[in-house]
Structures are given as structure tokens and as C-alpha cells.
Structure 1
Amino acid sequence: MVVEFGMSDLGMMHYFLGLEVNQSVDGIFISQKKYVQDILDRFQMKNCNTMKAAGHLVGYTDSDYARNLEDRKSTSGYAFMLGSGVISWSSKKQPIVTLSTTDAEYVAAASCACQDNPVENGQSKPIDVKYHFLPDLSKDAKISLIYCRSEEKVADIFTKPLKPVPFLKLRDQLGVCKLN
């Protein structure tokens, strides 16, 4: 490929699209530390007083049950919020067909927990391990599983069609704004 396309081997990747990339035997870690430092420099805030980050990381998860009429797979959605801002979100078709709403919600919760605990995100794990580690994470206080009503669950916006009022409410909770 190098001869055909005139490429150069630059070694290990350190930066990509403004992201800092650190590759090690433990995995690939991505951060925006340099980007944040550049912004602080740009606005002369490098020596500003720090503020303790609000409550903790909160993840919302939801699923629709067998909404896809072609293969009857459900959709999982999640949103992670730190303080009042969303920092990560996803909407993805589940890899398996579930037999109940409870199963679909369980798969969605496991998918969300895998994002919070990437060590558990192995693709080749059998289903009994891959989806049934939630009780252990909860018991070890790595996550807390708390029920919240659909009106409060921002992940609903990623899994089902909503009427305008709930859609706008959840969109606002995510911090997504309309461009003029």
C-alpha cells in the first residue's frame, strides 16, 4: 500500500482530529486535555479558580420492545450526563431478539453499563455473562440501578417516536439547541 498510495509510516498515533490518543497494552485512551488547555490559554483562564464538578455521572437507558417490524429486534438508547450536560449518547439496534419488554430493557441497561465500565465490553462473551453482570456491578457499588418514569428518562428520545412536547422537553434536557 505504501508504494501504491505514496504513504508514510508515522508510527503510533498521538493526535487525531484534535483528540489526544494514548495507546498501551491496557487499551487505547482518548482525551481532549490539550484541547481544553488550548481553550483555557485562548481565553486567559489557565490560572482561574477551579470548580468542583457537579453530582456524579448519571446514565439514562431505554429500549423499545421489538419495534423493528422486519427482524423484531429492539433499539437500545442511552445518555450519560455529568452535571447538567450530556457527554455521551447512543441509539443502536440490539444484537439479539428479546422475548419481553423486561429483557429488552435489561439488554439496554447492560449496554449502558458496558460504556461506563469498558472492561466489560467484550464482544465475544456469551449472553449469560455479557448481559447478567449488572447485579455484580450494582452489588459492588460501581453502578446504581434506579427506576425513573418515562417522562424523566432522557434516553426515550433515542428509542421511540415522541409527540412534540415531550420531544422538546427531552431535547432541552440534553442541552441540544436549535440552530438559527
Structure 2
Amino acid sequence: MNRPSRPPTCQLCRKSGHNASQCYHLASYAATAPSEEHLAQAFHAQCQLDPNVPDWTSDTGASSHMLPSNSTLPNATPTQGNQPSTITSFVSCLNKEFAIKDLRKLNYFLGLEVTYTPHGLFLNQSKYTIDILNRAKMLDAKPAQTPLSTNANFVSAGDPFPDATHYRSIVGALQYLMIMRPNISYAVNQVSQFLHALTVAHFQEVKRILRYLKGTIAFGLHYRRPTHTTLIGYSDADWARCLETRHSTYGYSMFLGGNLISWSAKKQPTVARSSCESEYRAMANTTAEIVWITHLLQELHALPQERQTILCDNQSAHFLTQNPVSHKRAKHIDLDYHFLRELVAAGKLITKFVPTKLQVADIFTKSLPSSQFCASRDMLCIGPPPFSLPGDVR
């Protein structure tokens, strides 16, 4: 007897928690996707760094760029841009080939909720957060002030956790939640490193993250209309953070016009022999991200006139970027040294020192006390919605 065929699934939908029927619709769309010729007629040009972003430049020199739309999906892909006439032409071209529906302003997309404010946008995932808490049976848990306690230590030794599938399901959901909650990136990064060797202590830390989310369900990212277009990156590292491998943890955050556009919290792949080395490697990784963003903005004809800036709270690492004589002490990080130093020498990049209390990327490298954590969270423009809801924690 032949078994009925099972509809294929989508990795994005699996991570975001969408059901199988929605994945089936995605698979159905793939079978009827527009041909390359149709897309070529609609797109005209594509960004080299991100082929999902069409790019036009009109005869007047005006630039138009947006995220393409296909509304045959159960949750329509958003279409946004800076020239309504170009968007209308794009949608009309696609409408000739297959049925689409214009849902107007974006309000909800794959768990992401969009609220329009007089000053910009507010993006959050409150419904998805409630779903995670329900799945973990922690909707009635006591809220916590921070995702991790300051004395949290992660090691492989300990009593094994019996339900590995439940642990991995919750952690996977938390990884998707980081899209609009970068302030939990460090905590989720730590609990994700032990998916192969779970312990009861690790699950207690996961529950701590969920308790923090319980008290900040409606929190999200605020995006305000910028008054400037400066691109600034904050770079930080915590030397030898891992107790078992002594690898350092590094993180960065990128702001364009004062709005957070990119961030990361990762463990460095090699052991650093000094805090200066770990900080300098973090700056090199931050620089690579800034270079990529700069090239993308250049393609979109939106490159800021000001030089890009990296802020670091380590005096020694900052000194290395400014003083070529100190190269003798940097031979063991030779490639990172030349990559960063050449950009600074060419005047394409500025490095500055920033005090630790103003180091936004600190939240991506370690568990912070409550007051410092809240200050960093505010600097990331993460907070409650711009309106009051029953039960909100402020």
C-alpha cells in the first residue's frame, strides 16, 4: 500500500513555528514560481550583494529599491520602497503572469508585527513570544530582570537533561525570536552551544531566558526617521569567556542614522593570547561587516558621505589601528592587522575609543547586571511599544 506523500517543509517555517499547511503552500508556490524571464522584466536590475533586492535608477538619477513581493503565499512577502510609481509598475508586471493581491501596508509577516508611529516604525514579535511561552508552559512564570544571571557559567559537566527534543525546540524558537530581540543574543548563543550535551543546569538557563521574555512580551525594536545617515559600528570582546575552551566571545552592533541594522554575538574560532588580540580580531570582523554594508548602500545609491566609524573600549586595540610602528607586536594577527590598518590608513575608516559604560556591544559578549543591561538595551532602541496595552511591563 502506497503511503500518501508528505508535503515538503520549509526551514524558515520550521524555525518560526509555522504549521505544515503553510509549508505546503510554500511548496505549491515553488511549483508555480515565475520564470527568470518574468522576473527579469520586473526587476530590471539586481543588487550584486543581495539578489533579492531589485534596484532601479531613473533618468533623473533618483534611486528606487525594494523587497519583491509574491502574494500567492499564505503570508504575503512585503513590498517596500521609496518610489510608489516604481512599486506600482513592479506589481502590475507580476500581476500579468500570476494572481497576486495587494495587502497595502505591512502589518504582520511570519511572526513579525509592524506598528506605524508618527516618528517611524515599531517592530516586535509579541504573538510569537506568547506562543513560545505557551509551548514551554511558562506563561504564568515569574518575570526576570535579565536573560541570564551575572554568575551564569556554562560547562558540559552535570546531570543530563532527559528531554533533548523539548530543549532543542525551545532554543530553536528563541533563535528566530532574536530577529527583533537582539538583547537576548548572547544568552541564546550560550544555550545553543550545548545542544549535543544537555544538562539540567542548561535547561534552567533556558527557563531564565523565558522568564525574562515573560516580563517583556511586547518589547521590540524602534526605528525612527533619521536626522543623519552616519554608519557607526560598536565592537567588543570578552577575553577567554568559555571556561572549557578558553575561546573569547565577541559581538558587534551597527547603526545607520541612529537605527540598529545589524548585530552579532559569537564565539571566536581560535584562542586569543591577550585581551588586545581578542578585541582586535573582533574589530576586524566588525570591519568586514561594515565593508559589506557600505558596498550594499553604494549599490542602492544611499552611501553616507561621512566616513564609517568603529568604536572600541580597548585602548591597546585602538592603538594598534593608529600606530604602524606597533606592527612588531601584532605578527600573530597579521592578516587582521593589515585588513583593518589599510582601511584606516586610506582614510576609509575611523576607529575611536569609547568608555565601557557607553559600549553598546557589551550586551553581546557577557551577562550584565540589571542596570547595565537595561542601559545597553535602551541604546539598542529596544523597548515597550509606543502605546499602552493591558498588562504591559514598563
Q: TM-score if structure 1 supplies the norm length?
A: 0.71
Q: Aligned residues: percent identity?
A: 34
**Which residue in 1 is equivalent to 2:218?**
none
Larger strand fraction of residues: 1
Residue type matched to 1:105 in 2? E
Is the 8 Å Cα contact of residues 236 and 283 (structure 2) preserved in structure 1?
A: yes
Counterparts in 2 of 1:84-103, with a 5 A limit? 84-103=258-277
For residues 90 and 58 of structure 1, the distance between their equivalents in structure 2, rounded to whole angstroms, comes to 14
For residues 30 and 76 of structure 1, the distance between their equivalents in structure 2, rounded to whole angstroms, comes to 29
Q: In the alignment, does 2:98 pair up with 1:33?
A: no
Report the CA distance between 1:29 and its aligned residue.
Answer: 4.4
**Which residue in 1 is equivalent to 2:339?**
133
1:85–1:70 CA distance, 2 compared to 1 (3 A): same
Residue type matched to 2:380 in 1? L
Report the CA distance between 1:22 and its aligned residue.
Answer: 3.8
**Which residue in 2 is equivalent to 1:62?**
236
User: Which 10-residue stretch deviates more, 144-153 or 51-60?
Assistant: 51-60
Report the CA distance between 1:39 and its aligned residue.
Answer: 10
Report the CA distance between 1:37 and its aligned residue.
Answer: 2.4
For residues 55 and 78 of structure 1, the distance between their equivalents in structure 2, rounded to whole angstroms, comes to 19
For residues 70 and 22 of structure 1, the distance between their equivalents in structure 2, rounded to whole angstroms, comes to 45
Report the CA distance between 1:132 and its aligned residue.
Answer: 3.2
**Which residue in 1 is equivalent to 2:291?**
117
For residues 140 and 29 of structure 1, the distance between their equivalents in structure 2, rounded to whole angstroms, comes to 30
Residue type matched to 2:266 in 1? K
Report the CA distance between 1:84 and its aligned residue.
Answer: 2.1
For residues 38 and 149 of structure 1, the distance between their equivalents in structure 2, rounded to whole angstroms, comes to 37
Consecutive unaligned residues of structure 1, counting only runs of 5 or more, are: 16-20, 44-50, 120-125
Report the CA distance between 1:92 and its aligned residue.
Answer: 0.7
1:71–1:153 CA distance, 2 compared to 1 (3 A): same
Equivalent in 227, 243, 249 of residue 75 of structure 1: 249
**Which residue in 1 is equivalent to 2:120?**
none
Equivalent in 267, 276, 281 of residue 107 of structure 1: 281
Report the CA distance between 1:115 and its aligned residue.
Answer: 0.5
Consecutive unaligned residues of structure 2, counting only runs of 5 or more, are: 1-7, 9-26, 40-44, 54-64, 68-78, 88-103, 106-224, 294-331, 386-391
**Which residue in 1 is equivalent to 2:362?**
156
1:94–1:132 CA distance, 2 compared to 1 (3 A): farther
Is the 8 Å Cα contact of residues 226 and 258 (structure 2) preserved in structure 1?
A: no
For residues 113 and 53 of structure 1, the distance between their equivalents in structure 2, rounded to whole angstroms, comes to 24
Q: TM-score if structure 2 supplies the norm length?
A: 0.35
For residues 235 and 51 of structure 2, the distance between their equivalents in structure 1, rounded to whole angstroms, comes to 24
Report the CA distance between 1:142 and its aligned residue.
Answer: 1.7
Residue type matched to 1:110 in 2? A
For residues 343 and 288 of structure 2, the distance between their equivalents in structure 1, rounded to whole angstroms, comes to 10
Larger helix fraction of residues: 2
Is the 8 Å Cα contact of residues 247 and 267 (structure 2) preserved in structure 1?
A: yes
When Rg is computed on C-alpha atoms for both structures, the one with the higher figure is 2
For residues 69 and 52 of structure 1, the distance between their equivalents in structure 2, rounded to whole angstroms, comes to 42
**Which residue in 1 is equivalent to 2:372?**
166
Is the 8 Å Cα contact of residues 277 and 333 (structure 2) preserved in structure 1?
A: no
